[in-house]
Amino acid sequence: MKLTIGHLYPDLLNLYGDQGNIRCLQKRLQWRGIEAQVQSLTSDSAIDFTKLDLVLLGGGSDREQELACRFLSGQKEAFRDYAEHGGTVLAVCGGYQLLGNYYQTGDMLLEGLGILDIYTKWESKRLVGNIILNSSLTFSSRPVVGFENHGGRTYIGNHTPFGQVISGCGNTEASGYEGVVCKNIIGTYLHGPLLPKNPEICDYLLERSLKQKYGASQTLGTLPDRLEHLANSDIVKRFTPRKFFFFPSLSKSKREKS
């Protein structure tokens, strides 16, 4: 078996170690004897979405995001088609904002890909720091941890959030929710990089891709993940407010989010 991972615009969208997500995807496939091919699709590349099994978009500054948006405008239909038909996508921060309808800053309006029915508005106070979520995508009670740094506030309407914020801000400081999960897409503000510290999220994406390509019966076995879990729990211990030490479960998948 083989999965092809498309890393979109690593020359533009590459903040806070987002490249580490690619390494994590690759390694966790290799450890299971599954071939992992990575296509590094820089802004001058022609992208054939029909050849990709998993797409990763990282974060970028507003300027880089504007450039990425310009390059992606020619690929809009193909990307939308890929995502609508079950293609797996991880989009982080600037990449997450690009999946929406628009990103509005003080002086520009960037039209997004319209893959998710969300929008983002910039505010001058940046939301920066470590962030901890309770997500229904991690099958254990282990929280999702990461780092956020964004001026955008994302309004996700009726979409299902990626997680409930235990510590940090997420989509907006007021909503209490972070990111979006829709079909086989995760959009999130979590850098970190996200996947090495949250191996269950990495495996969620890989399993979705395998099922999409090779059929619903495909599953991934577990890996020991001792170091990954230590890294995760260290952050949880340092940044979880005491009142949340017993994590509430995100029982309702759809809630009022923003």
Is the Cβ–Cβ distance between 9 and 71 less than 8 Å? Answer: yes
Minimum CB distance to ligand GLN smaller for 15 or for 41: 15
d(Cα 179, Cα 177) in Å, to the nearest integer?
7
Residue 149 is a binding residue for ligand GLN (CB under 6 A): yes
Residue 100 is a binding residue for ligand GLN (CB under 6 A): no
Minimum CB distance to ligand GLN smaller for 64 or for 228: 64
Residue 150 is a binding residue for ligand GLN (CB under 6 A): yes
Residue 151 is a binding residue for ligand GLN (CB under 6 A): yes
Tell me which of 60, 100, 161, 179 binds ligand GLN, using CB under 6 A.
60
> Would you call 191 a catalytic residue per the annotation?
yes
What are the E-state strand segments in 61-170? Answer: 88-92, 102-104, 109-111, 119-134, 144-155, 163-167
Q: Give the number of other CB atoms < 10 A from CB of residue 107.
A: 6
Q: Using the structure block, give the residue that is written with the tokens 């450039």.
A: 67
Catalytic residue (one of 24, 93, 169, 202): 93
- Any idea of the CA torsion for 179, 185, 191, 193, to the nearest 10 degrees? 150
> C-beta of 6: minimal distance to ligand GLN in Å?
19
d(Cα 230, Cα 247) in Å, to the nearest integer?
18
Is the Cβ–Cβ distance between 189 and 179 less than 8 Å? Answer: yes
Residue 59 is a binding residue for ligand GLN (CB under 6 A): yes
For residue 47, the cross-strand partners are none
Tell me which of 30, 42, 50, 61 binds ligand GLN, using CB under 6 A.
61
> C-beta of 92: minimal distance to ligand GLN in Å?
7
Residue 65 is a binding residue for ligand GLN (CB under 6 A): yes
Minimum CB distance to ligand GLN smaller for 88 or for 120: 120
